[in-house]
Amino acid sequence: MKPRTVLGAAMLALAGSLAAAPSPAGDTSHAVVAARQASMKEMAAASRALAEMFDGRRAYEPAAFKAAADTLSTRAGAALIAEFPSGTLGAPSGAKPEIEQARPEFEALARHLGRLAGALDAKAKSAPAGITADMRMSGLPMDGGSLLGKRPGAVEADPAKLPAEHLLHLILQDCSSCHSKFRQKQQ
C-alpha cells in the first residue's frame, strides 16, 4: 500500500476508535442530549399531528389521535424533568444552562404540561369516530388568556373539563413558553 493510503486508513481507524471510546463525562451527557432531542422531536410530531387533525389538514383517525396524545402524556411531567439533568445543559444541547438556576420554574412548567397532556390522553382513550363539537374550543379562552398572553392572577380551569382542542392549545402555549425561556438556538 502507498504511505498515504496507510496513513489515511490509520487516521480513519483512530478516529473511529476515539468516537467509540467513552469519554470521562461527555459520553453519558451526549447520550442524554441525544435521547432528549429524540423525545422533543416525538412531542413536536405528536403536537403537529393533533393540530393538523383539528385544523382539517390531516384526516382525523381515532387511533392516531390516541397515539399522539399518549406520546405527549408519556413524555411530559416527571419524564420531561428527568430528561434535563445537571451536566447536560448548554452546548452542544439547545437547553440553556439557565435551567439550573430557574429549576423550580422549569419543573413547574413541565408538571403543568404533564397535567394538560394527561387530561388530553384521558379524553383520547375514548376518542369518537370523528371530531365532535365537545372536542372543539369555543368562546373566549378559558385560561384568562388572550392573544397577548395569560392575564396575571387568572384562575385556571380544571384540565379534565376542557375540550381536547383547548388542551392542545394550552400544551402548545406551555411548549412555547418553555422554549422561549429555556431553549437556545443551536449553531
Angle between helices 103-124 and 62-75 (to 10 degrees): 160
Average pLDDT, integer, range 36-47: 97
- Please say whether the beta carbons of 116 and 167 come within 8 A: yes
Average pLDDT, the chain: 83
What are the residues whose beta carbons fall under 8 Å from the beta carbon of 98, sequence distance 6 or more? 181, 182
Residue whose C-alpha cell reads 453519558 in the numeric block: 28
Residues in a beta bridge with 95:
183
pLDDT tens track for 98-138:
999 999 999 999 999 999 999 999 999 999 999 999 999 98
- Taking residues 37-59, what's their average pLDDT? 97
Contact 165, 65 (CB under 8 A): no
Cell output for 12: 480513519
Cell triple for 11: 487516521
Residue 20 has pLDDT above 50, yes or no: no
| pLDDT of 96 strictly over 90 | yes
Domains of the chain: 29-84+95-182 (1.20.120.10)
Q: Is the dihedral of CA 67, 165, 47, 75 positive or negative?
A: negative
pLDDT exceeds 80 at position 41: yes
pLDDT score, position 1:
46
Q: What are phi and psi of 183, to 5 degrees?
A: -120, 135
For the entire predicted model, the pTM comes to 0.78
pLDDT at 187: 64
Give the side-chain half-sphere CA count within 13 A for 174.
27
C-alpha cell at 122: 384521558
The answer to whether the beta carbons of residues 119 and 70 sit under 8 Å apart is no
| 102 vs 92, more confident | 102
